[in-house]
Amino acid sequence: MKLASAFLALAVGVLLAAGPSGAVELSIVSGDTGNGIKVLREILDRYEKKSGNKVDIVVIPPSTTDQFGQFRLWLAAGSSDIDVYQTDVIWAPQLASQLVDLTAATRDVVGEHFPSIIKSQTVNGRLVALPIFTDAPALYYRKDLLDKYGAKVPTTWKELADTAKLVMNKERAAGNKDIWGFVFQGNAYEGLTCNALEWVMSNGGGGIIEPDGGISIDNPHAAAALDMVKGWIGTIAPPGVLAYQEEEARGVWQTGNAVFMRNWPYAYALGNSENSPIKGKFDVAPLPAGSGEGDRPVATLGGWNLAVSKYSKHPEAAIDLVKFIASREMQKYRTLKTSNLPTIAALYDDPDIARQQPIVPRWKQIFLNAQPRPSATARIKYNEASSQFWTAVHNTISGQGSAADNLADLEARLTKLKGKGW
Ligand code: GLC
């Protein structure tokens, strides 16, 4: 009797989890940046209608560093609470062993995506995540203010600092008390690694860890880049920038209180949204470079993907969901609403996208030439290496130790972390 009722309870439980006519309930975890969650919900509503399945979103904070920490806890615990993870482009090598291999299930669609992005999510021959959007930053600038003061769009960091100062001072003198010259991501987290890689590399200071595994960060060009940024804090950039992530920078920018901003394409659609005070007043350009011979602008490659947990109780349905969100149709929908850059090549020729989010076709070459972080080289040690890097950078730009000393110390730490190899 006892056994029979236990069996009944189990059967009812299974039926409930499976829902009517085999439908299942899935959960997807995603960070919250800009209008990303709202648009994801709209996409999921369409999926629910089509599939009969239900999907809940588990919303977590926007910092990719915090997300990674949380994902690792869930995965280490073998949690089946999360079926689908929205993962940053850099995390594939570190999470791969706990993610389902999507190679066979995506054979029909994988060719639509840029091969370089697919490669970045392929670890030991297993495709561990399917891309939903890619990322490459822009220099956002206030067209109206540059025109007002006859200033050009800067192409070097020096020009950026000079123009930021000029426009900021004149605007303040004219009564615009809250305006700053430049905002970016100066908090101690992965976003600072992206910003600092751009400063260092565009100043001839190399890529921190080079593709051959060599550590290159202790050099005078890198130190000069960090000294330059230290000089911005409290002069052209608000002191609070040392705690800014993407959304804090956008907050200052979108209320009209910054002349320049470094941010990802998602800020384009939001800046031009209905109630935005800067709607129609700004444009985007490639990031500046150093002033030395051969210095070139550098944009760090970002991007987001969907991965299925090895511990999901519904891997088939989860894969179906991932394919739906990553599909051409849904990527188009997302891009129209968020100005995220698609990972499907054909969408860069889409006339609706070109009309509504003109940054997208303009950013195709920028993203194709963007600089990957050394995650494929440092592999399972990437998070630790990046955290050593952003800590040294944050110390330097907040006035704790000189750039030269901090970078020498960083190189020693990275050498130790590397040990016998990455
Ligand atoms: C963006 C990028 C991501 C990067 C993050 C840093 O979300 O797409 O790759 O790690 O910014 O904050």
| Average predicted confidence (pLDDT) for the chain | 95
Q: Is the dihedral of CA 192, 161, 203, 298 positive or negative?
A: positive
Q: Is pLDDT of 79 > 80?
A: yes
| Mean pLDDT computed over 142-161 | 98
Q: Is pLDDT of 209 > 90?
A: yes
Question: Residue 218: helix, strand or coil by DSSP?
Answer: coil
Angstrom CA distances, 348 to 92, 334, 336, stand at: 25, 13, 12
Cα-to-centroid distance, 175 and ligand 1 (Å): 35
Best of 90, 91, 194 to mutate for ligand 1, by most ligand atoms within 8 A of CB? Answer: 194
Expressed in angstroms, the distance from the first to the final Cα of the chain is 59
Q: What CA–CA distance (Å, rounded) separates 114 from 132?
A: 11
Q: Is pLDDT of 419 > 50?
A: yes
Q: What CA–CA distance (Å, rounded) separates 303 from 385?
A: 19
Is domain 2-128+302-368 annotated with CATH 3.40.50.10810? Answer: no
Q: What is the pLDDT of residue 140?
A: 99
Work out the angle between the directed axes of helices 157-173 and 220-232 (0-180°, nearest 10): 10
Q: Name the residue at shortest CA distance from atom 1 of ligand 1.
A: 302
Residue 107: enclosing H or E segment and its boundaries?
A: none
Kindly report, residue by residue over 252-308, the tens digit of the pLDDT: 999 999 999 999 999 999 999 999 999 999 999 999 999 999 999 999 999 999 999
Specify the CATH number of the domain 136-301+375-422.
3.40.190.10
Q: What is the pLDDT of residue 270?
A: 98
Cα-to-centroid distance, 246 and ligand 1 (Å): 9
Kindly report, residue by residue over 168-202, the tens digit of the pLDDT: 999 999 999 999 999 999 999 999 999 999 999 99
Our answer on whether the CB atom of 302 is closer than 6 Å to any ligand 1 atom is yes
Q: What is the pLDDT of residue 18?
A: 52
Geometric angle at alpha carbon 344, from 341 and 350, rounded to 5°: 75
Our answer on whether the CB atom of 191 is closer than 6 Å to any ligand 1 atom is yes
Fold agreement (2-128+302-368, 136-301+375-422): yes
Q: Name the residue at shortest CA distance from atom 12 of ligand 1.
A: 191
Strand partners, 309: 99
Question: Which residues are CB-neighbours of 91 under 8 A, at least 6 positions away?
Answer: 68, 71, 375
Cα-to-centroid distance, 422 and ligand 1 (Å): 23
Q: What is the pLDDT of residue 21?
A: 62
Q: Which residue has the tokens 């979108």?
A: 254
Question: Which residues are CB-neighbours of 338 under 8 A, at least 6 positions away?
Answer: 34, 35, 36, 39, 133, 266, 269
Best of 185, 264, 334, 393 to mutate for ligand 1, by most ligand atoms within 8 A of CB? Answer: 264
Q: Is pLDDT of 3 > 80?
A: no
Q: Is pLDDT of 331 > 90?
A: yes
Q: Is pLDDT of 19 > 60?
A: no
Q: What CA–CA distance (Å, rounded) separates 101 from 92?
A: 12
| Mean pLDDT computed over 139-164 | 98
HSE at residue 57, side-chain half, CA atoms within 13 A, is: 19
Selected residue with higher pLDDT from 418 and 15: 418
Q: What CA–CA distance (Å, rounded) separates 62 from 247?
A: 8
Where along the chain do its domains lie? 2-128+302-368, 136-301+375-422
Residue 401: enclosing H or E segment and its boundaries?
A: none
Token pair for 116:
């370089």
Q: What is the pLDDT of residue 16?
A: 46
Geometric angle at alpha carbon 146, from 358 and 191, rounded to 5°: 60
Q: What CA–CA distance (Å, rounded) separates 256 from 261?
A: 11
Our answer on whether the CB atom of 89 is closer than 6 Å to any ligand 1 atom is yes
Least confident of 14-28, 32-46, 363-377, 407-421: 14-28
Q: Is pLDDT of 167 > 80?
A: yes
Q: Is pLDDT of 248 > 90?
A: yes
Token pair for 75:
């995965």
Atom of ligand 1 nearest to the CA of 304: 8
